[in-house]
Structure 1
Amino acid sequence: MTAETSLAPLPPAKFRDPRITAKGERRAAVGLSSLRTLWFNTGTLCNLTCANCYIESSPRNDALAYLTAAEGAAFLNEIRRDAWPVGEIGFTGGEPFMNPDFLPMLAEALGRGFRTLVLTNAMRPMMRHAGELAALNAVHPALLTIRVSLDHHSPALHDLERGAGTFAKTMLGLEWLAENGFRINIAGRAAFGGEPEAELREGYARLFAEHGIPVNAEDPVDLTLFPEMDAAAEVPEITEACWGILGKSPESVMCASSRMVVKRRNAAAPAVLACTLLAYDPQFELGATLAEASRPVPLNHPHCARFCVLGGAACSR
């Protein structure tokens, strides 16, 4: 290596400028075409510490504090007042069932007629509320879906991610949901174990049949297989030209149709984020109301490329 080459300027880093990529091209941005799904992050506290949690949930991480029922209702009121076309409310965490106000928030969303999706590990926090949850489902069976995280169809690989014995406990929760007539979805991981997708779905199908879980493993909504998310992995930036190159539309990306409400630790009020996946990056905090959060979102993060544009994944149905 010569002195000239060793002193040559390095190329600019990726995902730094919200308008321009490292190559100097115009970065893609996604406008809010229609707000169809509003997510509430009920808080990052969780009963598990998973090996690769995208939001770093754990029994100690309260970076996102518990939302209250009153705070959630304020956004539902804004939807009604301003006629936002929201058809679905999603609840995620952390583990939603650890939030003391979660059941009232869920009841409020269902009572207003929203299709409602709850993400959970179906373990002890959920089962502590089994009676209340079953009662809500009995009143609103067509509106409520429980999406259970089951990283792999084998106990060994699932437990490798979530901890020893977690597969068996989640399966008990899944069986209870099935026995009580809940609509169930499953969230798995596409690249976990290195299997082709067809084989992965076959493995889940065998598991569901064995345990009487009413989930169609061939249906990409019933069984959603999420791509791996590694912010440090090499991934291309998405430019305006990529839509034509990839044959995709900005409307296909999650932030064209959804937003997420969070409350940061010690914050006076909740904030609205562009995305369920980017809870800690300040550039994706859009405002305090849905109206403020309706501005376009520059795709200035590796997750935008890997998960949404190239991976084709979405958190809602």
Structure 2
Amino acid sequence: MSRQVLAPPRPLDPAKFRDPVTTAKGERRATVALRGLQTLWVNTGTLCNIACRNCYIESSPKNDALAYISAAEIRAFLDEAASLGAPLREVGFTGGEPFLNRELPEMLRDVLGRGLSALVLTNAMKPMMNHAGALLALREEFGDRLTMRVSLDHHEAAMHDLERGEGSFAKTLEGLVWLARHDFRIHVAGRAAFGGGDDAAMRQGYAALFSAHRIPVDASDPVALMLFPEMDAATDVPEITEACWGILGKSPDSLMCASARMVVKRRGAERPAVLACTLLAYDPRFELGATLAEASRPVALNHPHCATFCVLGGAACSR
């Protein structure tokens, strides 16, 4: 049998994703209104202890384009959400590696102390373990309202290490096992493309790994084990029009930007900014203001990631 050769992806049409109101074909571009702020994301800073081959935000040990945000700055946004009467239920922390920000435990305590849930996206390596004592105290006091989502790109070391560096799988697995041993609520994030499109086989592989190491994650649960689509803004994808909602049988309320915003602090900035999306930290078109109130306006789906990740890929960063 001859070997199938896949055609390379088509480059993005430069006429697409330019106008926030209309598409390249002159159709009305889809927008998403904020129906209620349920999830507030915080980028703790883009510095990371490792450099992955394909990081959507280009995190590395040298990239500090997004500076460390402080606990006091996040407290101000939590206070604003409360004063606005926002239906906030969860605060998610991403990076970079969030545990490189030394004020993360204080931020978590503030969030959890308000009766909210907290979600931390981590590689579960040394930076996390440097905060082991603080994490155990939070787990003891707040229980399952704290969720640790660990990035494990594949259930086999070779594939994971291809993306994140030799030996990284073993270190992340060690952190996962530590979290499991201490009864933390754990989720795992993998990469769908690493499975060659075979979602069932990927989940079976993860299930075997979790079982072997007594990690209490249900691999069949798409929230407990999220397999994210790959994102390449240079690859051609369709623009999302107002007509797409009916064609796809999808509601704009199901997208992340209908219920979430993200706070970042740019290097050299006097104060943080609020963005429409966790995936578009560097695109000025998705910076909505300095406050949650300013950031409550609708979002035009004017980026390839809007199509690939959210509308067509069906992915979501929060629970």
What TM-score does the superposition give when structure 1 sets the normalisation length?
0.96
Runs of 4+ more than 2 Å apart: none
Q: 1:12 to 1:25 in 2, by over 3 A?
A: farther
Match for residue 70 of structure 2? 68
- 1:31-51 deviation line (CA, Å, top 9, x unaligned): 001110000000000001000
Q: Which residue type is aligned with residue 91 of structure 1?
A: F
Match for residue 290 of structure 1? 292
The correspondence for 1:199, drawn from 190, 201, 221, is: 201
Match for residue 77 of structure 1? 79
Match for residue 185 of structure 1? 187
Count residues in correspondence. 307
Match for residue 174 of structure 1? 176
How far apart, in 1, do the equivalents of 2:37 and 2:90 lie? 10
How far apart, in 2, do the equivalents of 1:36 and 1:12 lie? 35
| 8 Å CA contact 1:262, 1:270 repeated in 2 | yes
Displacement after TM superposition at 1:79 (Å): 1.2
| 8 Å CA contact 2:121, 2:150 repeated in 1 | yes
How far apart, in 2, do the equivalents of 1:107 and 1:235 lie? 41
Q: Which residue type is aligned with residue 305 of structure 1?
A: A
| Identity in percent | 71
| 8 Å CA contact 2:144, 2:184 repeated in 1 | no
How far apart, in 2, do the equivalents of 1:266 and 1:275 lie? 21
Unaligned runs of 5+ in 1: 1-10
Match for residue 132 of structure 2? 130
Displacement after TM superposition at 1:12 (Å): 6.4
| 8 Å CA contact 1:184, 1:222 repeated in 2 | yes
| 8 Å CA contact 1:261, 1:271 repeated in 2 | yes
Match for residue 8 of structure 1? none
Q: Which residue type is aligned with residue 267 of structure 2?
A: R
Displacement after TM superposition at 1:267 (Å): 0.3
| 8 Å CA contact 1:187, 1:225 repeated in 2 | yes
Match for residue 4 of structure 1? none
Q: How does 1:221-240 map to 2 (within 5 A)?
A: 221-240=223-242
Displacement after TM superposition at 1:102 (Å): 1.0
Match for residue 47 of structure 2? 45
Q: 1:153 to 1:12 in 2, by over 3 A?
A: closer
| 8 Å CA contact 1:44, 1:95 repeated in 2 | yes
Q: How does 1:156-171 map to 2 (within 5 A)?
A: 156-171=158-173
| 8 Å CA contact 1:12, 1:22 repeated in 2 | no
Q: 1:292 to 1:257 in 2, by over 3 A?
A: same
Unaligned runs of 5+ in 2: 1-12
What TM-score does the superposition give when structure 2 sets the normalisation length?
0.95
- 1:5-53 deviation line (CA, Å, top 9, x unaligned): xxxxxx8610000111001101000000111000000000000100000
- 1:257-295 deviation line (CA, Å, top 9, x unaligned): 000000000000000000000000000000001100000
How far apart, in 1, do the equivalents of 2:313 and 2:210 lie? 25
SS where residue 286 of structure 1 aligns? strand
- 1:152-194 deviation line (CA, Å, top 9, x unaligned): 0000000000000000000000000000010000000111141
Q: CA RMSD in A?
A: 0.9
